Amino acid sequence: MEKRLIQKVLVTGLRGFTGQHLGAALRERGASVVGLVQGEPCGKDDEIACDLTDAQAVRAAVARVRPTHVVHLAALSFVGHGDARAFYDVNLFGTLNLLEALAALDAPPQKVLIASSANVYGTPGVEVIDEGVCPAPVNHYACSKLAMEHMVRTWFERLPIVLTRPFNYTGVGQDEKFLIPKIVSHFKRRAPFIELGNLDVSRDFSDVRDVVTAYVALLDSNARSEMFNVCSGEATALRDVLRLMSEISGHDMDVRVNPAFVRANEIPILRGAYDKLVEAVGFKSRYTLADTLAWMYAADTHAEGGV
């Protein structure tokens, strides 16, 4: 595996859950990190306010940074978001604006990593999902990500791009509107009950720290014009997540199934294969789901500042 000198990294979505962990990891390596963020920068010189749906603003921001590497994380990612059109405006056309801006640079970046989602696979009817499984998205979030992938592939000859399909992942700092942080929060508060949807769904849960390790390794590598699953290779049922949290916290609570939380077109099992990632960068997961849950349970989220 050939390694590249990561000098100046432009990260879209730097303030987000993944972006904060990735930014910290890159800075530990000595890289300069600049983020494109929504809203006004918080008095930091490593942030540039930029709406990805504004092509002119994106082009100006990219020209200002002139990155050696790019990680595109910014997306509308909450599947339950109510505005269907917004998924495509941000996830598809926002990505197009970014690629056009990067291609306009005098010196194009050495690597552009673009995060898609394993949600594009839908319900494939196979036990283990590798990159060869035909996508069949079942919601607007996944449809917008697959449309983005197809558009990005038309840029493979012009920019050194790698695409990733991360499966579910979690960790300290993830918003409680997502499933695992919601569960951990209830156990932390020793709540008497929790309302959830389908308890029988199984997901491939990774630790955000492992996902960040995979992303940095791909930036280091000579891989390009390729798609990589990022996952743990194991599927865990929601019932087992609740059991693990009960063991970690020493707390039991009533679990109530709320029909309002049971999604139409729910994908029953998502489990990924990451052999291709192992072959490309020697990736190996460092954290089990129990490790991740214990980390989240022990964390002082206020002191962590969401990182």
Amino acid at 251: H
H-helix segments, 81-134 = 84-88, 94-103
> How many whole angstroms separate alpha carbon 40 and alpha carbon 292?
32
Distances from the Cα of 305 to the Cαs of 16, 162, 184, 302, in angstroms?
12, 30, 17, 5
> What DSSP character marks residue 287?
-
193: three-class secondary structure by DSSP = strand
Q: Among 164, 179, 170, which residue's Cα sits nearest to residue 255?
A: 179
141 as an active site residue: the answer is yes
Query: Which member of 88, 121, 141, 297 is catalytic?
Result: 141
Q: Among 157, 147, 72, 57, which residue's Cα sits nearest to residue 112?
A: 72
Q: Which residues are within 8 A (CB) of 227 and not within 5 positions of it... i.e. 6 or more apart?
A: 116, 131, 149, 162, 163, 164, 165
31: three-class secondary structure by DSSP = coil
The DSSP line for 168-179 is -EE-TT--TTSH
Q: Among 173, 279, 153, which residue's Cα sits nearest to residue 218?
A: 279
**Residues assigned a catalytic role:** 141
